[in-house]
Amino acid sequence: MKAAIFHGTGQPHTFEAVEIDRPKGHEVLVRTVACGVCHSDLSAAEGKVPVATPMILGHEPAGIVEAVGEDVADFAPGDHVIARLRPFCGRCNQCLLGQPNRCNNRAAVQRVAGDRPRMTYRGGRITGITGDAAGFAERMLTHENGFVKIPQDVPLGSAALLGCAVVTGVGAVINTAKVEAGSSVAVFGAGGIGLSAIQGARIAGARRIIAVDVNESKLAAARRFGASHVIDASAVDPVQAILKLTGGVDYSFEAIGLKQTAQQCIDVLVPGGTATIIGVLGLDQRVEIDPMSLLAEKRVQGCSMGSTRFRIDAPRYIELYQQGRLLLDEMITRRIRLEQLDEAFAAMNRGEVLRSVIMFES
């Protein structure tokens, strides 16, 4: 099969053959139909989050099951699936507590040492950005707990966005922060994750949803996705603007990945308000909290994939999509070929796209 090989920061991707094994045990082999391009892939490509190379990036895929291992009962060839390419084990404390997004029991969903690798490139083992399968490849082979079956009439290009952007943004609002109806919300960053958080806030019934971005077209999109107010942070100080508008918000969300905007998320809160930092900051960065914010009982929390219970939340989001309450098609600015991956990263850097989605040829 063909895959996009990442060789290191500053080097273009190459598109080459990678060997992928047959599924065994609890594994499922999926033909990738679509994969969204997330800023976390770009952060890896730019070295902001260092990764081992060579590697295959991509973690927002959807596809069709081609074959299953002998112990798989819930999937069959022909099933349409979306993937969270970091399968949960289902039996560690975090999984049993209902937080499979925090599962770190990697060994339970990997092949045992000494087994053939799932993927090989130029004779050596290769993995994806999640340490497992990868979305920027024509096939994915991983543990069945990495996949969720979806109805056949949902377009796979749109469904792919549920693999990361949508579950992360909507989940950050509904699961991580548990925003109540009637509350006020500010979302910093109106890219794939931020627009999903704005949608989550609309679905949760927030009365005010303030979007902050530095790009006019993102702010226009934010309005279409449910923002009641927009603030252009390239023109005004967003903290002052939000405080002037609201006196402070109950919930704020950082969906960019910058220290400065993480701090701003804390500064715009009312006493007792909660900031949820979704963006991945540079690994050497630290978020500081001033003592008065602590005395005001402000809370700051992290967020991993929207605290998503993939098999519970993804079908719920699909139903909201089918009712027209969760916009997925509208998030896709460009449908591209795998070979256009580096162009998609450049377009993301220039702020030209809400989401690029790679469509694979069948």
Question: Which stretches of the chain bind Zn ion, using CB under 5 A?
Answer: 38, 40, 89, 92, 95, 103, 105, 164
* Cis peptide bond prior to 238, omega within 30° of 0: no
Residue nearest to ligand NAD (CB): 191
Residue 130 binds to ligand NAD (criterion: CB under 6 A): no
* Amino acid sitting at position 216: E
- DSSP-derived 3-state class of residue 334: strand
Considering the complex, state which of residue 23 and residue 194 has its C-beta at the smaller distance from ligand NAD. 194
Residue 192 binds to ligand NAD (criterion: CB under 6 A): yes
DSSP 8-class letter at 78: T
Pairing of strands 356-359, 334-336: parallel
Site size toward ligand NAD (CB under 6 A) is: 32
Considering the complex, state which of residue 151 and residue 282 has its C-beta at the smaller distance from ligand NAD. 282
Of the candidates 210, 212, 222, 300, which one interacts with ligand NAD according to CB under 6 A?
Answer: 212
Residues 6+ apart with CB under 8 A from 254: 188, 189, 261, 262, 265, 275, 276, 277, 278, 279
User: Which residues inside 232-291 make contact with ligand NAD, applying CB under 6 A?
Assistant: 233, 255-258, 261, 278-280
Complete DSSP assignment for 152-184: TTS-HHHHGGGGTHHHHHHHIIIIIS-PPTT-E
Contact (CB, 8 A) for 229 and 249: no
- DSSP-derived 3-state class of residue 123: coil
Residues 6+ apart with CB under 8 A from 327: 199, 224, 225, 321
Residue 68 binds to ligand NAD (criterion: CB under 6 A): no
Considering the complex, state which of residue 63 and residue 257 has its C-beta at the smaller distance from ligand NAD. 257
Residue 202 binds to ligand NAD (criterion: CB under 6 A): no
Of the candidates 174, 193, 341, 359, which one interacts with ligand NAD according to CB under 6 A?
Answer: 193
Residue 359 binds to ligand NAD (criterion: CB under 6 A): no
Contact (CB, 8 A) for 206 and 212: no
Residue 194 binds to ligand NAD (criterion: CB under 6 A): yes
| Burial class of 99 by CB neighbour count within 10 A (0 to 12, 13 to 18, 19+) | middle
Considering the complex, state which of residue 23 and residue 87 has its C-beta at the smaller distance from ligand NAD. 87
Residue 250 CB, nearest distance to Zn ion (Å)? 26
Residue 348 CB, nearest distance to Zn ion (Å)? 12
Choose the one of ligand NAD, Zn ion, none that binds residue 95, judging by a C-beta under 5 to 8 angstroms depending on kind.
Zn ion
Choose the one of ligand NAD, Zn ion, none that binds residue 188, judging by a C-beta under 5 to 8 angstroms depending on kind.
ligand NAD
Helix (H) or strand (E) holding 2: strand 2-5
Of the candidates 94, 304, 334, 347, which one interacts with ligand NAD according to CB under 6 A?
Answer: 304
- Interface stretch with ligand NAD, choices 8-16, 115-123, 187-195, 315-323 (CB under 6 A): 187-195
Considering the complex, state which of residue 39 and residue 298 has its C-beta at the smaller distance from ligand NAD. 39
| Angle between the N-to-C axes of helices 192-204 and 216-225, in degrees from 0 to 180, rounded to the nearest 10 | 30
Backbone angles phi, psi at 45, to 5 degrees: -65, -30
Residue 102 CB, nearest distance to Zn ion (Å)? 8
Task: Tokens 């560690």: give the residue.
Answer: 92
Residue 189 binds to ligand NAD (criterion: CB under 6 A): yes
Choose the one of ligand NAD, Zn ion, none that binds residue 255, judging by a C-beta under 5 to 8 angstroms depending on kind.
ligand NAD
CA distance 349 to 255: 15
Tokens of residue 285, six digits = 């960065």
User: Which residues inside 12-51 make contact with ligand NAD, applying CB under 6 A?
Assistant: 38-40, 43
- DSSP-derived 3-state class of residue 116: coil
In terms of Cα–Cα distance, which of 336, 271, 317 is closest to 58?
336
Helix (H) or strand (E) holding 348: helix 341-349
Residue 200 binds to ligand NAD (criterion: CB under 6 A): no
Choose the one of ligand NAD, Zn ion, none that binds residue 194, judging by a C-beta under 5 to 8 angstroms depending on kind.
ligand NAD
The contact set with ligand NAD (CB under 6 A) reads 38-40, 43, 164, 168, 188-194, 212-215, 218, 233, 255-258, 261, 278-280, 303-305, 348, 351
